[in-house]
Structure 1
Amino acid sequence: MQQVSIQPIGVINTSFTEKSGVPIQAKYGDEFVGEILLETQYVEGLKDLDGFSHIHLIYHFNQHSDYQLQVVPYMDDQPRGVFATRAPTRPSGIGMSLVRLLSVEGNRIRFAGVDMLDGSPLLDIKPYYRDIDERTDAVCGWLEQGVERQRTRSDGRF
């Protein structure tokens, strides 16, 4: 398989320095504000971003050095394939969060919906397109089975 190399375009700053206690999804971290420091050579690419209410952040789980193909996700008590979860212990180490955009000022982007650790390398930013991203016929696999153990914070297992 071809090797891929991706350079970060910035860094994500949050109040979370340890894995334990981090919201498990951006939706559960809406009360926490984070900031992106974008590399200055990419600032021109932020033009018109401030007109969006939400953005997808693509970043690297840089504090996870290994991966697991089977995990017990926070929202279940059964082992699941990692690709059927959003667990951070992934072969690619890539994370994605849909966050609420608060402001864009120069190379600083403020957002609400923190679910990543401080210092996470930012790989890309994509705007949320309501008419494209929303799927009214979406089915959520094992999550449709009435999961009882709804956790909103990491217990540090990953």
Structure 2
Amino acid sequence: MKEPSPTIEFSPIGIIRTPYENQAPYQPIVEDQGEFRIEVFPAYSDGLFQLARFHYIYVICQLHKSTGVHSLSIKPPWTTDTTVGIFASRSPKRPNRIGLSIVRLERIEENVLHTSGIDVFDGTPLLDIKPYIQELDVKPTANYGWLDDLDDRDHLMLHIKGIAHES
């Protein structure tokens, strides 16, 4: 049951360009082939000042091709018979269709950010960018949660990361 809430509106600040038209990886693939760039609308280009000094950035976007949440419980496609809550997953089928990725910032040319591979479709609306700061963003006590219960966790992590491997 959906709780009534005030309307929240976001306006894109740019657009993300990737080689992905019909299929995108589950997670960003740092060394993926193709051109990955974020085109920040000129009205926001002053906000890029000093961003080039960071090696990684958070990219917050609208998952515009996602059909939204179908259920609050899902079965991750790379597991067998495992059900988890939507908020315990990284599924793109979320109530608010907001995506979050960490990518390497290669360079900035005017209002265009060139990045490593990002896990979104071409034309994805950009909502925000934040710098990734090592001391603040690396959590040494982070764990795998329910993934620790899977017998083949290490193998499944290769699928999740989109890393080619022997089956």
Shorter-chain TM-score category?
A: 0.7 to 0.9
Aligned twin of 1:24: 26
Match of 1:81 in 2: 85
CA distance in 2, matches of 1:80, 1:106: 43
CA distance in 2, matches of 1:80, 1:124: 28
Is residue 30–residue 103 contact of structure 2 (8 Å, CA) maintained in 1? no
Q: Does residue 91 of structure 2 align to residue 90 of structure 1?
A: no
**Separation in 2, partners of 1:85, 1:99:** 20
Bigger radius of gyration, 1 or 2?
Answer: 2
Unaligned 5+ segments in structure 2 are: 163-167
8 Å Cα contact 1:9/1:38 also seen in 2: yes
User: Secondary structure at the residue paired with 1:41?
Assistant: helix
From 128, 134, 152, give the equivalent of 2:138: 134
Could you tell me the TM-score, scaled by structure 1's length? 0.88
Highest RCO, 1 vs 2 (Cα 8 Å, sep ≥ 6)? 1
Query: Take 2:106 and 2:77, find their aligned partners in 1: how far apart are those partners?
Result: 28
Unmatched segments (≥5 aa) in structure 1: 154-158
Query: Which residue number in structure 1 is paired with residue 156 of structure 2?
Result: 149
- The residue number in structure 1 matching 2:165 is none
Specify the alignment match of 1:110 in structure 2. Answer: 114
Deviation at 1:29, TM superposition (A): 4.7
Q: Is the 8 A contact 1:14 1:114 kept in 2?
A: yes
Percent identity of equivalent pairs: 33
2:8 and 2:31 mapped to 1: Cα distance? Answer: 33
RMSD: 1.5
Query: Does 2:79 match 1:72?
Result: no
Aligned length: 150
What is the TM-score with the length of structure 2 in the denominator? Answer: 0.83
Q: Which deviates more from structure 2 when the two are superposed, residues 67-76 or residues 134-143?
A: 67-76
Q: State the shift of 1:109 in Å.
A: 0.6
Q: Which residue of 2 aligns with 1:60?
A: 62
**Counterpart of 2:32 in structure 1: which amino acid?**
E
Shift in Å, 1:18: 0.5
User: Is the contact between residue 12 and residue 122 of structure 1 (CA under 8 Å) also seen in structure 2?
Assistant: yes
